[in-house]
A and B are shown apart, each in its own frame.
Chain A
């Protein structure tokens, strides 16, 4: 069963009617509904095209957070072979909000690291809804460091609402862990490529996405603060998230214009959740292309390339 977003309600109705007709025909085969159902299909297809051609920033946030959107685990399972999870930060715990380990990408050994949100109540709780604690960043630091020593490219998949605002996370130095993870991203002498597959939430995203190349899925977002958080601070009203989403310029399209993201990966019509394998494969092609761009750079060159990317940021704004 498809989960519809708030703005997809009219679409849900038409698709529902088509499905009902077909279910009816199954029960009474003498009825010929196909013509009518096909007409509804055409109508819903048109509507889908229209809805997704001009998604507002707030709608993009909703698509980026869609519960059926492919998550880190799905990408790892489909795009990588011999995935061997490596656990723990060697200090306190293993953070299940962060997946990571050795794997092969197109046969080549790499280190893959990403946020995992979970897909049902049980796994969402286990994954803490993709909100890492300090242990998650420290695990990532450990894995990046290992990749650096063994010359393995690092691929990060970013999908997090942000760092976890918890008591223990603060006590165990969440800030320091994020700062060190960003620092490690800048230090490694191996290619580091990142894809924002859903939500790039604030510092928790930066800790993994400080990369040579950053790609974003077409309807993913990357922001300094959630629209709800921004609305409650600047508008003093969390309900003004639509305005905040607009003002923050958090879409992949805006971020490409600002130079923060290098590539946009087109999503299947109606969002990545409507054709998960197609979306995942598209991301796979993008990762391959980004790694290919890095192939002539040596360790120092890769570091210099990353530094330059960040030092140069901010030299262009958005057209008024």
Chain B
């Protein structure tokens, strides 16, 4: 594949990052050293076109590629109180937050959105490793709760993409308390009979792995993702021996029975559509890039706001199967 033809080819779903455009238009693959043109890399969802190495991708870029026509509506997340402990290490926590916001142009480490994938209504939550290592603090907890509540309200499944260094130490015990809090959110989905799918991406560690990221009905990981509770360095220090090749990587976990599947990013969308539609009892979907739904949802965020305190709809009611489109635009 020639990058020029790729570059000039018009695309409906541009997944070109809206964040800071790198001055350097070339990225070197950490794994194989190949120089990759940024647009070619973006079009391949930040997966090296030479060796298949999965690099980090922001939730926003991921969602643009995930949802039909790249169209999604953000779900509003209630703002937690800022810096509850007045935490300060070498830097003030509030300064670290400001810096992360400036660097990422995102509010916090998790993005929640609703939309359709393969004409299947879903709520998706994506953890942003570039925002303070994706760490789980009160905002992330609120985001998961908001995602679950919205999913119950829409009678839609939740797909969560995890990526985190663990809990946000700067929120102390309140970050730890997001383990039970997020678990309450997952309970809501289970009680409503809604599928909860976790896609574990590199890296997913610590308290995140030991709570919502391990409670999915189906657990899928991206290739070679590091997934663990205690990190390899801590373990090596404790047991004073070298760990085996590939220890705590996605394939290793698959082998040890901790995951259902390891799926490359490029096939994830199709796989999610397939699995979700079966779990929801819906007919097969047409597998292709679909344009955005014709009737965009009304401001979902506002609706979510209004819905506060309402009783969720009866869990038994399954969403109406939508007629599959006969001819989907082919790339």
Contacts and interface: CB of A to CB of B under 8 A. Distances in A.
Interface of A: 163-167, 169-176, 178-180, 182-183, 185-187, 202-203, 206-207, 210, 222-225, 230, 233-235, 243-244, 247-250, 254-255, 258, 260, 307, 310-311, 313-318, 320
A180 B213 CA distance: 11
Contacts of B228: 170, 175
B210 A314 contact: no
Given A170-B228, A174-B210, A317-B81, A203 B172 contact: no
Interface in B241-262: 241, 243, 247-248, 256-258
Contacts of B86: 317-318, 320
A167 B238 CA distance: 9
A64 to B, nearest CB: 14
Given A163-B230, A175-B229, A247-B89, A183 B186 contact: yes
B169 A176 contact: no
A316 B81 contact: yes
B87 A176 contact: no
A175 B83 CA distance: 27
A271 B28 CA distance: 57
A313 B80 CA distance: 10
Given A178-B229, A222-B173, 18 more contacts: A163-B229, A166-B239, A167-B235, A167-B239, A176-B214, A179-B215, A180-B214, A182-B179, A202-B207, A203-B176, A203-B210, A233-B169, A247-B88, A260-B174, A260-B177, A310-B181, A317-B86, A318-B85
B258 A173 contact: yes
B234 interface: yes
B315 interface: no
A171 B228 CA distance: 9
B154 interface: no
Nearest to B139: A314
Contacts of B230: 163-166, 169-170, 174
B176 A224 contact: yes
24 contacts: A165-B229, A165-B234, A169-B229, A170-B235, A173-B257, A175-B213, A179-B183, A182-B180, A182-B211, A247-B87, A247-B172, A248-B85, A248-B172, A248-B173, A250-B172, A250-B173, A254-B173, A310-B184, A311-B145, A313-B181, A314-B84, A314-B177, A317-B84, A318-B86
B134 interface: no
Contacts of B227: 175
Q: How large is the interface on B (under 10, 10 to 19, 20 to 34, 35 or more residues)?
A: 35 or more
A185 to B, nearest CB: 7
B229 A170 contact: yes
A202 B210 CA distance: 10
A241 to B, nearest CB: 12
B193 interface: no
Contact of B176 (A164, A175, A206, A254): A206
B177 A313 contact: yes
B167 interface: yes
Contacts of B256: 171-173
B151 interface: no
B170 to A, nearest CB: 8
A247 B84 CA distance: 11
B99 interface: no
Given A233-B169, A318-B86, A311 B181 contact: yes
Nearest to A237: B90
A203 B177 contact: no
Contacts of A165: 229-230, 234-235, 238
Contacts of A210: 179-180, 183
A314 B258 contact: no
Contacts of B239: 166-167
B138 interface: yes
B141 interface: yes
A172 B186 CA distance: 23
B210 A175 contact: yes
A243 B91 CA distance: 13
B154 to A, nearest CB: 20
Contacts of A163: 210, 229-230
A187 B187 contact: yes
Given A179-B210, A313-B174, A249 B85 contact: yes
A29 B323 CA distance: 102
B155 interface: no
Contact of B183 (A182, A222, A247, A320): A182
